[in-house]
Amino acid sequence: MDIVALTISVARAYHEGQTGSAMKLEGQVAVITGAGKGIGKKIALLFAQEGAHLTLLGPELSDLDGVKEDIELAHRNCLVRKADVADETQVNSVVEAAVKEFGQIDILVNNASILGPTAPIARLSRTDWDRELAVNLTGSFLCAKAVLSGMIERRRGKIINISSVAGQKAYPLRSPYAVSKWGLIGFTRTLAQEVGCYDIQVNAVAPGPVRGKRMERVMDQRAKETGAPIGEIEKGYLDALALGRMVEEEDVARMVLFLASKEADNITGQVFNVCSGYKL
């Protein structure tokens, strides 16, 4: 073989090695909360495509069952449980079931969150405030606490919390949501420091406005609260984006996949904005 042919052969082998079919999460076990729709569903489907077995939590079993069917088409095992992440007993029960089914938990994605009210602080009810922080923030604490003993024992693991750019700025009329997402960033950074010695990586992904039904509800609520036309509300969000377009659910899922993969083994305690250049 002459030198040119040898060079081409080596280059081809290298390219195939870099772009081959090896899956990023082959044989790993992930728990994903809020997995029945939206970003959580996209994360679950991408993880299955990349070789993970899954335990999915959510408030509606019918949504979870639909995701499970798609995952099983990818020849991956999937356990689904209806659960409220703000309920410690339910969270512990799901984690115990996952360990019994799969033997371990390698990855936790804390995605569950509720939309909450759109209203000024002066008119917020204590019930609305408490419920949003219970699901969006305390739920992540409870899920992390439940999986940590196994991760610490095996001295490895990944925890990815879904925060928001709303957790990095003032967000009038959406204070419980913003506070919960601010808190999730503090939780991420603190936990990363506590468990780094066990080779556990903890990071957060902060989406900007994500195109879809949830964002439509956010804009609709803001229009009703302020009396502004829905088109004006949408323009306000788009004008705050350097790219002039909303993020796609798949964009967030791909960042979560990266952080869950071996490629991110030396990244911890960080917040990754997937936000189309949101002007913070």
Query: DSSP letters of 183-216?
Result: HHHHHHHHHHHHHGGGTEEEEEEEE-SB-SHHHH
Predicted local distance difference test score (pLDDT) of residue 8: 35
Choosing from 14, 177, 198, 237, the catalytic residue is: 177
Looking at residue 246, the DSSP 8-state letter turns out to be: P
pTM for the complete prediction? 0.91
Buried b / exposed e along 238-276 (16+ C-beta atoms within 10 A): eebbeeeebbbbebbbebbbbbbbeebeeebebbbbbbb
Over 50: is that where the pLDDT of 79 sits? yes
Predicted local distance difference test score (pLDDT) of residue 22: 85
Q: In terms of pLDDT, which residue wins out, 19 or 46?
A: 46
Buried b / exposed e along 151-167 (16+ C-beta atoms within 10 A): beeeeebbbbbbbbbbb
Looking at residue 172, the DSSP 8-state letter turns out to be: T
Report which of 128, 109, 108 is spatially closest to residue 117, judged by C-alpha positions: 128
Tokens of 195: 């468990």
Over 70: is that where the pLDDT of 257 sits? yes
Predicted local distance difference test score (pLDDT) of residue 21: 61
pLDDT band with cut points at 50, 70 and 90 for residue 210: very high
- What number does CATH give the domain 24-209+248-274? 3.40.50.720
Contacts of 165 (CB under 8 A, 6+ apart): 206, 207, 208, 273, 275, 278, 280
Over 90: is that where the pLDDT of 154 sits? yes
Residues 8-30: tens digit of each pLDDT:
343 344 344 444 568 999 999 99
Q: In terms of pLDDT, which residue wins out, 17 or 185?
A: 185
Residue entry with tokens 């909450």 = 116
Over 80: is that where the pLDDT of 136 sits? yes
**What are the boundaries of each domain within the chain?**
24-209+248-274
Would you call 171 a catalytic residue per the annotation? no
Q: What letter represents residue 137's amino acid? A: L
pLDDT (mean) for 225-253: 97
Residues 85-123: tens digit of each pLDDT:
999 999 999 999 999 999 999 999 999 999 999 999 999
